[in-house]
């Protein structure tokens, strides 16, 4: 028997969630906020929770500035509200641009910060229960590796899973070095976004560090880096309303044409939001010129393992990053 439960108190919501056997693929208890992923996957029989806990009334719906100059974003803040927030537009442009480049207005009006962090892959083999998928059904095999894999990942893959993390917001959060704040049965903890999502390895059904009862309560951003400019560039098959083939989130500070700080993350190519310390190292202290950008892009994609149909993504991602770096360092 299916149960939809509304909880207005975080402790009670967490207690309800803690009864689940897993917080990962196939969870028997799920939190629901915007519903844009969960209800979609329930209709496909990919997610079959017995109990769904409505957490939209929990008190995590605010965006607040922090004493250190950073930003605290409530888990229940709708994506559209976050993207259009004046502080986000001004100090964290990459985040606003990333969110607005994804989905449609209708979906962004529904989707939340926490929900977007937990957005599931669009891999069609994951979404179709007639196919084999190690993420959906551990040990069953991966039909994507030998199948239609044009849109799938080239970084962070394993022989068990090549599913892409579809989120644009997560890529921006990676470049902004966001921290995810989680409340669980044992209290609160915070996890840097780089550690929040897991590589598939041989357990692709585990996508995050979340355990049963763990509730994302907010996300914090450090204060904007001095003199930094940021940008999100997304390349896709259509001009709008399409997932990225490759995308780049860049946050760059430069003085006198020299790069003094760079944060780089890629989307559409990784099994998780793909921060590239390799590219950042190549940029640090260098002149903001195309040959330097190209070296950074080569470094970012050095470990890429293309599949049968997505070899083009290696060069596409490089050009995407080079172009993003050009745009963000352009002096107007």
Partner 1 sequence: MSDQNQRGEKSELEGGSEFGKSTRRTFLSRLGMAGLLVSTRPMIGEPARAESPAPSAPAIEGAIPVTLRVNGKKYDLQIDPRTTLLDCLREHLHLTGSKKGCDHGQCGACTVHVNGRRVNSCLCFAAMYQDHEITTIEGIGQPENLHPIQEAFVSHDAYQCGYCTSGQIMAAVAMLSEPCGPEDAEVKEFMSGNICRCGAYQNIVAAIQSVRQGTNKKKTA
Nearer to partner 1 among residue 55 and residue 162 (C-beta): 55
Which residue's CB is nearer to partner 1, number 105 or number 255?
A: 105
Q: Which of 65, 106, 146, 330 binds partner 1 (CB under 8 A)?
A: 106
Nearer to partner 1, 127 or 319 (CB): 127
> What are the structure tokens assigned to 26, written together?
């196939």
Residues 36-75 that bind partner 1 (CB under 8 A): 36, 39-40, 42-43, 52, 54, 56
Site for partner 1 in 82-101 (CB under 8 A): 84
Min dist CB 118 to partner 1, Å, is 15
What does the alpha-carbon distance between residue 15 and residue 6 come to, in Å, rounded to a whole number? 13
By CB under 8 A, residue 122 contacts partner 1: no
Give min distance, CB of 7 to partner 1, in A.
12
35 interacts with partner 1 by CB under 8 A: yes
* Total site size for partner 1, rule CB under 8 A: 28
Closest approach, Cβ 5 to partner 1, in A, equals: 9
Strands (E) in the chain, as ranges, are 3-6, 29-32, 51-54, 63-65, 71-74, 179-184, 187-192, 215-221, 228-235, 246-255, 258-267, 274-275
Q: What value, to the nearest 5°, has the Cα angle with vertex 140 and ends 135 and 144?
A: 65
Cα gap 288→96, rounded to integer Å:
24
**Binding residues among 4-23 for partner 1 as defined by CB under 8 A:** 4, 6
Could you say whether residue 1 binds partner 1 (CB under 8 A)?
yes
**Shorter beta-carbon distance to partner 1: residue 4 or 284:** 4
3-state secondary structure of 192: strand
289 binds partner 1 per the rule CB under 8 A: no
| Of 80, 87, 27, 31, residue with least CA distance to 54 | 31
Distance separating alpha carbons of residues 82 and 113, to the nearest angstrom: 8
In the structure encoding, which two tokens stand for residue 45, read together? Answer: 């029989």
Q: According to CB under 8 A, which one of 105, 140, 202, 330 is a site residue for partner 1?
A: 105
> In this structure, is the dihedral angle defined by the CA atoms of residues 251, 90, 222 and 198, taken in order, positive or negative?
negative
DSSP per residue, 101-149:
TSS-HHHHHH-BHHHHHTPPP--HHHH-TTS--TTTSTTS--TTTTS--
Phi, psi of 61, deg, nearest 5: -110, 20
Please name which of 194, 128, 121 lies closest in space to residue 161, comparing C-alpha atoms: 121
Q: Assign 314 to helix, strand or coil.
A: helix
Among 20, 32, 173, 316, binds partner 1 (CB under 8 A): 32
- Contact code string over 230-259 relative to partner 1, x by CB under 8 A: ---------xxx------------------
CB atoms within 10 A of CB 45: 10
Does position 104 interact with partner 1 (CB under 8 A)? The reply is yes
Q: Which of residues 193-222 bind partner 1 (CB under 8 A)?
A: none
Nearest to 109 by CA among 119, 99, 117: 99
Nearer to partner 1, 6 or 305 (CB): 6
Q: How far is the CB of 93 from partner 1 (least distance, A)?
A: 15
124 lines the binding site for partner 1 (CB under 8 A): no
Q: Which residues contribute to the site for partner 1 (CB under 8 A)?
A: 1-4, 6, 32, 34-36, 39-40, 42-43, 52, 54, 56, 80, 84, 103-107, 109-110, 239-241
């Amino acid at each position: 028997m299916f149960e939809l439960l509304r909880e207005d108190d975080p402790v009670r919501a967490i207690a309800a969630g803690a009864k689940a056997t897993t917080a990962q693929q196939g969870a028997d208890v799920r939190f629901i906020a915007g519903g844009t992923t969960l209800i979609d996957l329930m209709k496909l029989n990919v997610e079959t929770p017995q109990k769904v806990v409505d957490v939209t009334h929990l008190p995590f719906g605010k965006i607040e500035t922090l004493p250190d100059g950073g930003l605290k974003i409530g888990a229940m803040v709708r994506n559209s509200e976050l993207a259009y927030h004046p502080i986000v537009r001004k100090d964290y442009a990459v985040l606003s641009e990333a969110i607005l480049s994804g989905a449609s207005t209708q979906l962004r009006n529904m989707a939340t910060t926490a929900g977007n962090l937990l957005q599931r892959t669009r891999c069609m083999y994951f979404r179709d229960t007639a196919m084999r998928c190690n993420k959906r059904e551990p040990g069953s095999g991966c039909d994507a590796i030998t199948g239609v894999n044009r849109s799938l990942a080239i970084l962070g893959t394993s022989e068990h899973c090549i599913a892409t993390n579809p989120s644009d917001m997560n890529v921006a959060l990676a470049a902004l070095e966001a921290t995810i704040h989680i409340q669980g049965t044992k209290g609160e903890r915070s996890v840097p976004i780089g550690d929040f999502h897991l590589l598939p390895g041989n357990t692709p059904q585990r996508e995050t560090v979340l355990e049963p009862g763990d509730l994302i309560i907010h996300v914090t951003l450090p204060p904007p880096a001095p003199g930094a400019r940021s940008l999100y560039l997304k390349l896709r098959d259509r001009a709008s309303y399409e997932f990225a083939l490759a995308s780049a989130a860049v946050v760059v500070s430069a003085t006198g044409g020299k790069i003094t700080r760079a944060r780089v993350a890629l989307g559409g190519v990784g099994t998780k939001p793909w921060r590239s310390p390799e590219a950042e190292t190549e940029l640090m202290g260098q002149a903001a010129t195309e040959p330097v950008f190209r070296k950074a892009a080569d470094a970012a994609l050095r470990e890429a393992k293309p599949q049968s149909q997505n070899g083009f993504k290696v060069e596409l991602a490089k050009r995407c990053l080079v172009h993003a770096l050009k745009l963000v360092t352009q002096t107007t």
